Amino acid sequence: MASTWPVSLEDIRAAARRIAGRVRVTAMAQSVSLSEIAGVPVHLKLEHHQTTGSFKLRGATNAVLSLSPAERARGIVAASTGNHGRALAYAAEAEGAVATICMSRLVPENKVSEIRRLGADVRIVGRSQDEAQQEVDRLVREVGLVMVPPFDHPAVVAGQGTLGLEIIGALQQVSTVLVPLSGGGLAAGVAAAIKGVNPKTKVIGLTMERGAAMKASLDAGRPVQVEELPSLADSLGGGIGLDNHVTFAMCRDLLDDVILLSEAEIAAGMRHAYALEREIVEGAAAVGIAALLAGKVRANGPVVAILSGRNVDMEQHRRVINGEMLFAEDGR
């Protein structure tokens, strides 16, 4: 089956060589508190310490470096829930290219302002990732910009997979890897890397209960649309694309399970990260911790939870830490 995947282990290794020196190799730290709770060693992959505050820099950098000089000169465009846009703006600027980032009105202002600060042309369109993508398609069609999607692209997936290589390189005996799941770029890349080296390691995708497009698509056996709802895990929002070419098949074949988390469980994960791990993370990055706290993960050996990003609105973070419930359990 591995030969049919759009991204191979060698693609990921090539991406690692390509982005070396431009992207940080992030640390992995064992959590005493979570290890006691889980009954097995639990390690946190501190990817939120990445240069732009999230794992997205890996895929964006690999994709930009994979473009020809002529393609970069035309300008780069993408839809984003925030972190991909920030990473792409950074990667494009580093190579002398201009990035245009299209986002919905659901993207928090702190993420929008940071993307503007990095020199990107920001366009706010509609109330969903799908509507923002329509503007991207128009700019590609009418202006000739080159699209670098946030997840459904081989170079992006390969770049995200370098995170998996770092995990398996640091902890070869890892039993289970917990990966935040949205469009599937991170999950697909990490799973391909991990299972390419050790097929017995479980890779579990984690996402919020409402608006989980990849989970709904996997259940349906094909990409489907879902309503995008406000969530603490706003970075996990958005569809996977009805014409998904890469991540749906890889997640279907490579993920061992997908676990859904409530808003209360995600909030508990953020609070634990802050109070016991001394880490500030956004809701999407707290899902691995949340699943362990909720007893939704059972493992017989070492676990790695990826803390994928820290680009949280600090006022929102303060309110969560103080125990406020920002979104109802139905996501509204």
pLDDT digit string, tens, across residues 127-164:
887 889 999 999 999 999 999 999 999 999 999 999 99
The pair of three-digit structure tokens given for residue 61, joined into one six-digit string = 């950098």
Which two structure tokens, joined as six digits, stand for 138?
A: 């128009």
Catalytic status, residue 308: yes
Indicate the Cα dihedral angle 250, 282, 116, 47, nearest 10°: -60
The residues, any chain, with a CB within 8 Å of residue 249's CB and separated by 6 or more, are 4, 5, 6
The predicted-structure confidence for 265-312, as pLDDT tens digits, reads as follows: 999 999 999 999 999 999 999 999 999 999 999 999 999 999 999 999
Tokens standing for residue 15: 């991406």
Question: What pLDDT is attached to residue 40?
Answer: 97
Q: Which of 104, 128, 235, 308 is catalytic?
A: 308
Annotation: CATH topology of 56-147? Rossmann fold (3.40.50)
Question: Alpha-carbon distance 324 to 100, whole Å?
Answer: 35
Q: What is the CATH number of domain 2-54+153-321?
A: 3.40.50.1100
Per-residue pLDDT of the chain (332 residues; tens, 9 = 90+): 445 789 999 999 999 999 999 999 999 999 999 999 999 999 999 999 999 999 999 999 999 999 999 999 999 999 988 889 999 999 999 999 999 999 999 888 888 999 999 999 999 999 887 889 999 999 999 999 999 999 999 999 999 999 999 999 999 999 999 999 999 999 999 999 999 999 999 999 999 998 899 999 999 999 999 988 889 998 898 889 899 999 999 999 999 999 999 999 999 999 999 999 999 999 999 999 999 999 999 999 999 999 999 999 899 999 999 998 777 654 44
Catalytic-residue membership of 262: no
- Among 56, 111, 195, 202, which one carries the catalytic annotation? 56
DSSP string, 159-194: HHHHHHHHHHHH-TT--EEEEE-SSSHHHHHHHHHH
**Angle, to 10 degrees, between the axis of helix 56-66 and the axis of helix 83-94?**
40
Q: Note whether 2-54+153-321 and 56-147 share their fold.
A: yes
- What is the pLDDT, as a whole number, of residue 237? 84
- Cβ-Cβ contacts under 8 Å for 315 (sequence gap 6 or more): none
Domain ranges of the chain: 2-54+153-321, 56-147
